A and B are shown apart, each in its own frame.
Chain A
């Protein structure tokens, strides 16, 4: 029973990772970019936990890692949101295409 579950979780994790990246790449709205970041974080955290299926001993430490990772993800997101607010003040929009004054 461990194997199909494991593969399921593992692929879900990879899938989340890819979806998150896709979101970051495709969306021009800054908020959506941040959401994409969060999705990637979720995927990575899930990946930590998937391996505990194979080996129950890993669980305590994995939980520990994941909790800390979630905290860090939250910190990053809050910082990012603050920057988005400031960006709106400067640019009047949250469209990433408009934020390409720094180029070449």
Chain B
């Protein structure tokens, strides 16, 4: 198969899908000048156009033989530059990017529609729409990009939008404590702080990503993904060793962007932004960018690992970080008091699943199993997590608080929201058969098992139990039981709880239906292997076409080898068991209210310290603040006093005064008296003659 860039009209949607939102973003201020309504609907229109464009790409995924579609435009020609000869700009359409683009664009559109209702009446909407559209454009640019530089553009762009949107209510008004602050003392943070935290944390990841890219470029001379797959085979053997650190550094970017350990702390605090932002950026799209990047470089690393077996360590790193993050984040969700924070931790946890899947994929011959599992779970998670966030937003709007203990008992007043949240929460937990979450999560577990990693499998399973626990907890604290005091106060003041307006519940209802649809599709298509099986087949046939991937070989002897049909049974069995355990415990505590959690934990003792440990986020957050933030602030205070004011400023004054004095005295030479001026001229002339005669002649 020739890997040559081709130009064709089928790929025009791929160009337009990210251009439309970018244009829309820049038109927003103009539209705002015309009419606020024009601006709102205009912004939604552009995201609709983007979704339309990505949907137009779907037919391509059914003709895998025609992919990849790869177009490039030359951008900067660097002749004679030592390593890199050109930087290009193009698009790469393959199954991964089509799926991801659709996920991003369609969910973005739904969330934009939801924003019409959610953000009604807020000030600064022009800024909001601009950044939302700019975000969608950048995200799609990232997805469609065909080389590292372009990805970096989109990467940084989404980082900027994330920062701007998290800090949307940047004025940090104390009255908004219940609306847009995050956390409780001693870790309560205002929105502007959260935006900065997110930006800085992901920046650390970005730096590592950049270094990784630079190393790769330095050794291979190309930035394009497609070319790298070819080139990595021909890398001289003595340079291969650099690929492992480069790949791990490269992975630093996804660690930051996808909130894995050790850079996960920004995501829970990113909940300070509006719920639409949380849904779009921090659940459905931006955090998936890291997973997407791992998926993008997967073929490159996989081919490299054939010729250089030590590359496997990269995949191990990915998998271990994924599974450990999933576990840690899951436990933190168990004790959180805010509805959005539970969902945030849950996001981190599920992202860990995706990384796990991609990681173990790289260690096996049938890489497409894990690869599919990662991508399928990405798609499935995006749908149900976005829906969960949107429903949470509706609840927060209704109850006017973000805390779980301010909610409760509103199932009657908000039935659509209740059922949407419940259905999607079931998908998150992995309730069997009807829900896409079940199929995707099971695929992840199955691929872990088939890769021969029992420890990872166990950890993932335990995490599934924890997931079930906190999901049921969240559902029951929000909707079931008695109404809280806070709600009674609100009703007293005349704010009655009622269902969300149509423009808000239609989007998340659609998403709930979608998660059901994928689940049901999973079972009805079972003869064809279900959706998961179809995806497997697609990825297998596509990825095997890439140069270097067509040889199959056994990579390593795993400790436990399990035949495939046994694996399916074991997986289903395990997942059902852990689901039941987790859900049952939560049911007992929170739904039946048979056991009072407060009394259970008590005020002292092991359980209380364990609860503290989980509530304070394993003290990771506190650690980072103490070590990095506080020390930097005290150093800069010291530097201000002693270096800046004491040293540099003083030097400035001395120098300036000296020159001023000199200049004032020198000015007297220009007397203004013509005769003296001419004397000056003549003196100059004579001196010049003398110098010339002395020196030259």
Contacts and interface: CB of A to CB of B under 8 A. Distances in A.
The answer to whether any beta carbons of A and B sit under 8 Å apart in the complex is: yes
Interface of A: 21, 24-28, 33, 96-97, 99-104
B673 interface: yes
Contact of B672 (A21, A28, A33, A103): A103
A65 B54 CA distance: 83
B17 to A, nearest CB: 67
Interface in B481-526: none
Contact of A100 (B667, B671, B678): B671
Interface of B: 667-668, 670-675, 678-679, 682
29 contacts: A21-B678, A21-B682, A24-B675, A24-B678, A25-B675, A25-B678, A25-B679, A25-B682, A26-B675, A27-B675, A28-B675, A33-B674, A96-B673, A96-B674, A96-B675, A97-B673, A99-B674, A100-B673, A100-B674, A101-B672, A102-B672, A103-B670, A103-B671, A103-B672, A103-B673, A104-B667, A104-B668, A104-B670, A104-B672
Nearest to B671: A103
A21 B674 CA distance: 12
A9 B679 CA distance: 26
Contacts of A99: 674
Contacts of A33: 674
Contacts of A104: 667-668, 670, 672
Nearest to A33: B674
Contacts of A103: 670-673
Q: Top 8 closest A-B pairs, CB basis? A: A103-B672, A100-B672, A104-B667, A100-B673, A102-B672, A96-B674, A25-B678, A25-B675
A99 B673 CA distance: 7
Contacts of B667: 104
A90 to B, nearest CB: 15
Contacts of A24: 675, 678
Given A21-B682, A104-B670, 5 more contacts: A24-B678, A96-B673, A96-B675, A103-B670, A104-B668
A97 B674 CA distance: 8
A25 B673 CA distance: 10
Nearest to B674: A96
Contacts of B679: 25
B667 to A, nearest CB: 4
A101 B670 CA distance: 11
A67 B490 CA distance: 107
B685 to A, nearest CB: 10
Contacts of A97: 673
A97 B676 CA distance: 10
B582 to A, nearest CB: 88
Nearest to B682: A21
Contacts of B671: 100, 103
A21 B678 CA distance: 9
Instruction: Identify the interface centre among B671, B674, B678, B682: most chain A CB within 10 Å of its CB.
Output: B674
A86 B352 CA distance: 91
A102 B682 CA distance: 21
B79 to A, nearest CB: 54
Nearest to A18: B682
A21 B671 CA distance: 19
A93 to B, nearest CB: 14
A25 B683 CA distance: 12
A104 B675 CA distance: 15
